[in-house]
Amino acid sequence: MTVTVANPGAAAKDGWTLTVTLPRPTLLVSSVSGATASQDGSTWTFVPDSDTSSVPAGGSAEVSFGVSGATLIDAAPKECTIDGNACATT
């Protein structure tokens, strides 16, 4: 999965929090790039690493990760937010 943290504003954005809720706590996140991840039950929280901590005005940062476990049955995220705002899907 890849999530783009976009900054449409006129000033750089320092820091952000991405929260992804998976359907089961037994699903695990691995191979994280662009952030550091922590788990609390089914919810995973991603905070920027040194390369993505500042998102320039009009720019973006990418976070990618894999989901493992019993992924053949409903492994799609149930919820995704960036700084409390719902993620847009494309």
Q: Where are the domains of the chain?
A: 2-86
Share of the chain above pLDDT 70, in %: 94
Provide the CATH topology of domain 2-86.
Immunoglobulin-like (2.60.40)
In the 8-state DSSP scheme, what is residue 71? Answer: T
Q: What is the pLDDT of residue 71?
A: 63
Position 80 pLDDT exceeds 70: yes
Q: What is the pLDDT of residue 19?
A: 97
DSSP 7-52: --SSS-EE---EEEE-S-TT-EEEEEESEEEEEETTEEEEEE-TTT
In sequence order, what are the beta bridge partners of 62? Answer: 4
- Model pLDDT for residues 31-75, shown as the tens digit of each residue: 999 999 999 999 999 999 999 999 999 999 999 999 888 766 777
Closest CA to 34 of 64, 68, 72, 71: 64
Question: What value does the mean pLDDT of the chain take?
Answer: 91
